[in-house]
């Protein structure tokens, strides 16, 4: 176990090293001088050289990269190029809670919707319940999230016009507060965000449950006269959930990239929109910080699902 964890940690550090290098070198090699960009009209050589020095851009690349790594380890991503009075960290911390909230709810909901639905379909396999639900799940899973988001926004707009409920079309309330207007704003994006993952999990849960229901011990449980409810919930369900644990890490990656589009369509001021604006304004420190943060989230998610997997299923030993 410890050996396995150590091995994974080494791999994790390697991945993070690569990602920091990629983000650094892209910023370094990118055409266009960011200082020129900042100064715009007010270009003067002295200030230019001062700023270059301030941002450490006059050093050779390996030194810049080393400084970059050291700063990251101190959670110091420097100042934004675009909004020079703000540190990158302060920009991120104002937007992170929104994305975090969106992600946590979506992650929770997609398991809460997906697992029961998949189990239900497995129990009712090949009936109309199964076919209808799995057909819908396949559609929802295949259609990209932002298209789904547009359809949902359209539906909301139509209902709103018909009933005059005054439902806000876009935006986000206060993070982690749940008054009625907050809930109104948050409900649709969270649901749309959760649906894609829920469909995937439902399909997986169904397959896994069907596999378990075919096992000998289920037949034994039935043969000794246990009630069907106990067979399913106590004997089958627990074993069927094991493979689903691995999807946890996958879900995180899915959520991170999905957030860009959901935030875009619903105009949510989160980490995704920060990344996109900073990319289009070439605000390298912000880009680097968000990309590294998102990657850390994904890598930790993967690690977490490995650990969970080992805890749940002790047969799996580290090779």
Partner 1 sequence: MSIQDKNTEMNDAGGMLSTTPISSPLHESTVDVDNQQEKPDQQKSLTPSQQSMRRFLQDKRAVISLGMIVFLVLVAIVGPPIYQHIGTPYTNDAGKQVGPEVYHNPYRHDLDFEDLPISARFWLGTDSVGADLLARLMQSLLISLSVAAAVEVVDILFGVTIGVLAGYYGGWIDQVLARITDVMFAFPGLLFAILLTGILGPASDQFLDTLPVIGQYGNARLIIVSIAFALTSWPVMARYVRGQTLQIKANQYIEAARTVGSSDFKIITRHIVPNLISIVIVASTLNIAGTIIGEAGISLLGLGVQDPGSSLGLMIAERADAIDTPHPWEVLLPCIVLAIIVLAFSFLGDGLRDTFDPRSKD
Binding site for partner 1 (CB under 8 A): 11, 14-15, 18-19, 22-23, 26-27, 30-32, 139, 142-144, 146-147, 150-151, 153-154, 157, 169, 206-207, 210, 253, 256-257, 260-261, 264-265, 275-276, 279-280, 282, 287, 291, 294-295, 298-299, 302
Closest CB to partner 1 among residues 226, 282: 282
User: For residues 65 and 24, is the Cβ–Cβ distance under 8 A?
Assistant: yes
- To the nearest whole angstrom, how small is the minimum distance from the Cβ of residue 30 to partner 1? 4
Q: Pick between residue 33 and residue 230 the one whose CB is nearest to partner 1.
A: 33
Half-sphere exposure of 173 (CA within 13 A, CB side): 17
Based on CB atoms, which residue is closest to partner 1, 151 or 217?
151
User: Distance (Å, rounded) from C-alpha 263 to C-alpha 113?
Assistant: 22
The Cα–Cα gap between 61 and 66 comes to 9
- Quote the least distance from Cβ 26 to partner 1, whole Å: 6
Please tell me the distance from the alpha carbon of residue 281 to that of residue 275, in angstroms, as a whole number. 10
Beta carbon of residue 315, minimum distance to partner 1 (angstroms, whole number): 23
The residue among 136 and 174 lying less far from partner 1, judged by its C-beta, is 136
Q: Which is nearer to partner 1, 18 or 318 (CB)?
A: 18
Measured CA to CA in angstroms, residue 252 lies from 15, 92, 301 at distances of 16, 19, 6
DSSP labels, 296-311: HHHHHHHHHHHHHHHH
Spatial separation of the C-alpha atoms in residues 181 and 178, rounded to whole Å: 8
CA distance 138 to 242: 22
* Cα(101)–Cα(188) distance, integer angstroms: 14
Task: Compare residues 39 and 143 and give the one whose CB is closer to partner 1.
Answer: 143
Supply the minimum distance, in Å, between the C-beta of residue 207 and partner 1. 5
Q: How far is the CB of 302 from partner 1 (least distance, A)?
A: 7
Q: How far apart are CA 58 and CA 238, in angstroms?
A: 59
Place of tokens 């029961």: 116
For 177-278, where are the E strands, in sequence order?
none
Q: What one-character DSSP code corresponds to residue 231?
A: I
Cβ nearer to partner 1, comparing 22 with 108: 22
Beta carbon of residue 112, minimum distance to partner 1 (angstroms, whole number):
23
Least Å from the CB of residue 82 to partner 1? 13
**DSSP label at residue 318:** -
> Nearest approach, Cβ of 268 to partner 1 (angstroms)?
13
In this structure, what token pair is assigned to residue 158? 């139509």
Task: State the Cα angle at 160 between 157 and 163, rounded to 5°.
Answer: 150
Least spacing, CB of residue 125 vs partner 1, in Å:
10
Q: How far apart are CA 35 and CA 284, in angstroms?
A: 11
| CA pair distance 23, 279, nearest whole angstrom | 12
The nearer residue to partner 1, 153 or 226, going by C-beta atoms, is: 153
By C-beta, is 150 or 179 nearer to partner 1?
A: 150
């Amino acid at each position: 176990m410890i050996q396995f964890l150590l091995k994974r940690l080494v791999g994790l550090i390697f991945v993070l090293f690569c990602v920091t290098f990629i983000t650094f070198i892209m910023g370094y090699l990118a055409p266009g001088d960011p200082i020129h960009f900042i100064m715009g009209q007010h270009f003067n050589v002295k200030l230019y050289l001062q700023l270059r020095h301030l941002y450490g851009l006059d050093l050779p690349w390996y030194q810049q990269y080393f400084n970059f790594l050291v700063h990251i380890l101190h959670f110091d991503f420097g100042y934004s190029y675009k909004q020079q009075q703000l540190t990158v960290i302060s920009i991120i911390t104002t937007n992170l809670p929104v994305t975090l909230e969106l992600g946590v709810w979506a992650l929770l909901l997609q398991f809460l919707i997906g697992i029961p639905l998949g189990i239900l379909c497995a129990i009712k396999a090949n009936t109309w319940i199964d076919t209808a639900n799995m057909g819908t799940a396949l559609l929802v899973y295949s259609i990209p999230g932002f298209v789904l988001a547009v359809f949902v926004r359209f539906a909301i707009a139509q209902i709103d016009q018909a009933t005059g409920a005054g439902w806000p079309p876009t935006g986000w309330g206060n993070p982690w507060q749940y008054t009625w207007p907050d809930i109104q704003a948050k409900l649709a994006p969270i649901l749309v965000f959760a649906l894609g993952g829920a469909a995937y999990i439902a399909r997986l849960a169904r397959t896994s449950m069907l596999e378990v229901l075919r096992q000998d011990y289920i037949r034994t449980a039935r043969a000794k006269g246990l009630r069907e409810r106990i067979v399913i919930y106590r004997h089958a369900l627990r074993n069927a959930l094991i493979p689903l644990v691995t999807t946890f890490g996958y879900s995180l990656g899915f959520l991170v990239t999905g957030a860009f589009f959901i935030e875009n369509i619903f105009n949510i001021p989160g980490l995704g929109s920060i990344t996109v604006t900073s990319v289009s304004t070439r605000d390298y420190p912000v880009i680097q910080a968000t990309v590294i943060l998102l990657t850390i989230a994904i890598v930790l998610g993967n690690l977490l699902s490995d650990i969970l997997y080992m805890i749940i299923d002790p047969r799996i030993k580290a090779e």
